[in-house]
């Protein structure tokens, strides 16, 4: 069973992490209205969770006031990021009301759990409802994270209302704030924080993209904004990995401390870890897809034969050693471009071929030189359905025969984008004796 101390530590660390990330974003992109409020709200949220440790009546008032201020500032800042109007007077008024109300209730009747829960829920749901309306109204502002944010807000409001129902049915404070329910309520709040912060990051990205479109009148302005977007994507990947790592580590520690006679909880913790691992992979693919769209080809000389050798060593750690059979030229097969991006494209083809082939079946890769460099990857796997070949390489597309294997539908899309950025051509097809064939053609640096 999850205990209060563990949940408090977990939520506190996650909140502090979000606070630091929000502050860094605000310092980096001060021109984005709303980031200052989000940063201040995360700081107030950190203070609110820290004050929860103390049970002095005045500190309880301070903690609840900080919580109201935090939710008000974060939602107000997100509304600003969406293009809505800031209502700082409303934020200040509800914060003052919370402070006075909590002091009055505790002075009059310290055990009025039902009143406190109902009033707090009404305040929080009011702020979340305002944000939800703004998200629904702005259909194109945060297209990638819009659905996630809408579901998160609706789900969290449902949990808050369910808590009110519990308080109405059983107003005993020892029941509402018991060690049985409180840790899970805090854990749900942590998940909401992570998903909300995820949406904030994408809102910032949407704002930066809009700014980029407005500044394309000169080539110099476009290049500066591309650099900012690449920096943002790097920070996005770093900051999202932190809460995921915290969740994974907390679940791992819980498994180590758990009584082995609780198989149901053990299975749920294992599910949490597996889900976190899948989220990591999905996040890496999404970030790589966005980066591939932004990245321009560098002028570096890249030896593709050497890239293939390096990839074979790396993939041998994930799959059986010796499964990749390579035919490489004796002289360097050089192209001009970004080595990391080209390695990602070839690595995705090899990883797909290995993943969709039966265990032990070889994967063949050939690098040929001429007026162009041709890389061919052929496997003995499930291949592509012939009627869906024109769709292969589209973002998020997954063939009918691949749906039983875990994936995001981004791997081949990333390959196509990277090859296009390097003035190349990629084709997909089926081998005559079964399996899939992917061919990349890139301009040779010797032409």
Nearest to 346 by CA among 248, 275, 267, 412: 412
Is residue 61 within 8 A of residue 106, CB to CB? The reply is yes
Give the Cα separation of 216 and 219 in Å (integer): 7
Q: Residue 258 carries which DSSP code?
A: S
Q: How far is CA 414 from the centre of its chain?
A: 18
**pLDDT for residue 442:** 92
Residue 287, token pair as written in the block: 């970030």
Q: Look up the pTM and report it.
A: 0.45
Q: Would you tell me the crossing angle of helices 57-81 and 35-51 to the nearest 10 degrees?
A: 160
Phi first, then psi, for residue 375 (nearest 5°) are -115, 125
Give the Cα separation of 157 and 129 in Å (integer): 9
Residue 274, token pair as written in the block: 């597996």
Q: Which residue has the tokens 């809102």?
A: 203
**pLDDT for residue 375:** 93
Nearest to 18 by CA among 34, 39, 33: 39
**Could you give the C-alpha distances from 306 to 301, 371, 376, 435, 443, in angstroms and in order?**
12, 19, 15, 26, 17
**pLDDT for residue 62:** 87
Give the Cα separation of 75 and 24 in Å (integer): 19
Long-range CB pairs of 222-226, under 8 A, 24+ apart, other chains included: 226/294, 226/296
Q: Which residue has the tokens 């003052």?
A: 96
- List CB contacts of 359: < 8 A, sequence separation 6 or more: 320
CB-neighbour burial class of residue 379 (10 A; exposed 0-12, middle 13-18, buried 19+): buried
Going residue by residue through the chain, which has 447 residues, state the pLDDT in tens, using 9 for 90 and above.
Answer: 455 556 666 666 777 777 787 778 777 777 777 888 888 888 888 888 777 777 677 887 888 888 889 889 988 888 887 778 888 888 888 889 888 888 887 776 555 667 777 888 888 888 889 888 888 887 655 555 677 788 888 888 888 888 778 777 766 555 545 556 656 666 666 677 777 777 777 777 766 776 666 666 555 555 666 566 666 656 666 566 667 677 777 777 777 766 665 677 677 777 777 776 766 666 665 556 555 555 555 568 889 999 999 998 888 887 877 888 889 988 888 888 888 888 888 988 898 888 888 888 889 999 998 888 999 999 888 888 888 888 887 776 777 767 667 666 677 888 888 888 888 899 998 888 778 899 999 998 765
**pLDDT for residue 376:** 93
């Amino acid at each position: 069973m999850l205990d209060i101390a563990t949940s408090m530590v977990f939520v506190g660390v996650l909140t502090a992490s979000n606070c630091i990330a929000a502050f860094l974003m605000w310092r980096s992109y001060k021109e984005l209205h709303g980031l200052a409020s989000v940063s201040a709200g995360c700081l107030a949220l950190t203070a609110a969770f820290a004050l929860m440790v103390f049970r002095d009546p005045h500190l309880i008032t301070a903690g609840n006031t900080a919580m109201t201020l935090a939710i008000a500032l974060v939602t107000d800042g997100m509304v600003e990021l969406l293009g809505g109007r800031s209502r700082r007077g409303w934020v200040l008024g509800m914060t003052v009301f919370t402070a006075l109300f909590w002091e009055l209730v505790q002075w009059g009747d310290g055990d009025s759990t039902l009143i406190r829960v109902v009033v707090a829920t009404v305040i929080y749901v009011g702020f979340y409802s305002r944000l939800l309306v703004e998200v629904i109204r702005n259909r194109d502002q945060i297209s990638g994270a819009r659905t996630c944010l809408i579901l998160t807000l609706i789900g969290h409001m449902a949990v808050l209302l369910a808590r009110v129902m519990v308080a109405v049915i059983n107003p005993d404070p020892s029941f509402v704030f018991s060690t049985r329910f409180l840790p899970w309520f805090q854990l749900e709040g942590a998940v909401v924080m992570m998903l909300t912060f995820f949406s904030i990051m994408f809102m910032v990205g949407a704002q930066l993209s809009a700014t980029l479109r407005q500044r394309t009148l000169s080539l110099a302005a476009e290049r500066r904004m591309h650099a900012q977007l690449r920096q943002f994507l790097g920070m996005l990947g770093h900051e999202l990995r932190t809460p995921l790592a915290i969740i994974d580590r907390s679940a791992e520690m819980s498994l180590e401390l758990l009584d082995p006679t609780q198989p149901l909880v053990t299975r749920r913790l294992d599910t949490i870890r597996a889900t976190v691992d899948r989220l990591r992979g999905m996040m890496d693919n999404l970030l790589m897809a966005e980066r591939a769209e932004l990245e321009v080809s560098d002028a570096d000389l890249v030896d593709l034969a050497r890239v293939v050798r390096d990839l074979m060593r790396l993939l041998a750690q994930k799959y059986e050693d010796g499964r990749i059979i390579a035919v490489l030229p004796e002289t360097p097969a050089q192209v001009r471009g970004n080595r990391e991006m080209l390695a990602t494209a070839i690595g995705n083809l090899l990883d797909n071929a290995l993943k969709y082939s039966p265990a032990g079946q070889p994967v063949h890769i050939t690098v040929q030189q001429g007026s162009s460099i041709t890389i061919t990857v052929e496997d003995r796997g499930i291949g592509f359905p012939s009627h869906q070949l024109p769709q292969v390489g589209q973002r998020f597309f997954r063939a009918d025969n691949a749906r039983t294997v875990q994936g995001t539908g981004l791997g081949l899309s990333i390959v196509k984008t990277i090859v296009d950025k390097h003035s190349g051509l990629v084709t997909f097809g089926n081998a005559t004796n079964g399996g899939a064939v992917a061919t990349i053609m890139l301009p040779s640096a010797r032409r």
